[in-house]
Amino acid sequence: MIPAAPPPALPPATAVEIAQYGGHVMWLDTIDGEKVVVDRTRGQTVTVPIAAPVRELDLGPGPDGRPAAVYVRCRPSCDVWRYNLANGHETRVVRNARRPTVWGRRLVYTHGRDVLLRENGRSRLLALRADPDDLELGPGQLAYTALFDSDEGNGALELRLHALAGGRDVPLDRGVIGEGDSTGFNGLTFLSEGLYWQRAHRSACTVRITGFALYEPRRARRRTVDRVRAPLAARRAPAAAPDTPESEGCEPGG
């Protein structure tokens, strides 16, 4: 049942999953003790009639080009569902899958440790460089974050872009994990102009946002963007960065 209480105007600090595309910003929230999906568009917010429990929310163009949400519902096995924002129609698209991300007729998801691309009713394995922590599908590329070995520190976190045609896989951003410091890349959001993300810095138990970046695939150019020009999904994404030896014993979220 959708609670009667009005949704918040913007994603609150407690919203841990946020997605954005086509003028819509959606997030998971708790209202009147119930988990709900909230949609903000044209300055208005509404709760979306998607049955709980929902997790791993993503937003992008659907098969018809209009904004669509994809998410996972586990009862008890986990399946991927797609919700058409235009007509409110929900469809189960993949069984026994996790971490979906959508762009047009393409859907990327995980099955165990495998990352698969589903297109035209068929799925194929993607050969990424490492097991991903986060996934975001765009028009022809898949952005992902993953941990890598490094000659420095205790490894490194990389943000990479994987071409769906040809498989070219290139780094966009990188941060070494030191004894007390590390860098995180959060709020991955593909919009028409390119991929946005939030950069965060950990110092022992403290994590803070340090800036925002945009990669424009057509120009093969990365640049820093002001906070006000970053999409809401990147600005409001929780700041996170890899744990370090000095962060052991920190409170959750620190």
What is the spatial distance between Cα 77 and Cα 86, in angstroms, rounded to a whole number?
28
> pLDDT by residue (tens digit) across 221-232?
999 999 999 999
| Structure confidence at residue 253 (pLDDT) | 60
Residue 244: pLDDT above 60?
yes
Q: Which of 33, 82, 32 is CA-nearest to residue 56?
A: 82
| Structure confidence at residue 2 (pLDDT) | 47
Strand order in the sheet with 106-111: 98-103, 106-111, 114-119, 122-125
What is the spatial distance between Cα 231 and Cα 155, in angstroms, rounded to a whole number?
29
| Structure confidence at residue 254 (pLDDT) | 60
pLDDT band at 74 (very low <50, low <70, confident <90, very high): very high
Mean pLDDT score of the chain, rounded to an integer? 93
Tokens representing 92 are 């189960």
How many helices, marked H, and strands, marked E, lie in the chain? 1, 20
Cα torsion angle, 92, 98, 101, 106, sign: negative
Tokens representing 56 are 């791993």
* Its pTM surpasses 0.85: yes
- Mean pLDDT across 110-121: 95
- Mean pLDDT across 172-178: 97
Cβ-proximal residues to 84 (8 Å cutoff; 6+ apart), any chain: 62, 64, 66, 68, 90, 91
- Mean pLDDT across 58-70: 96
Residue 11: pLDDT above 50?
yes
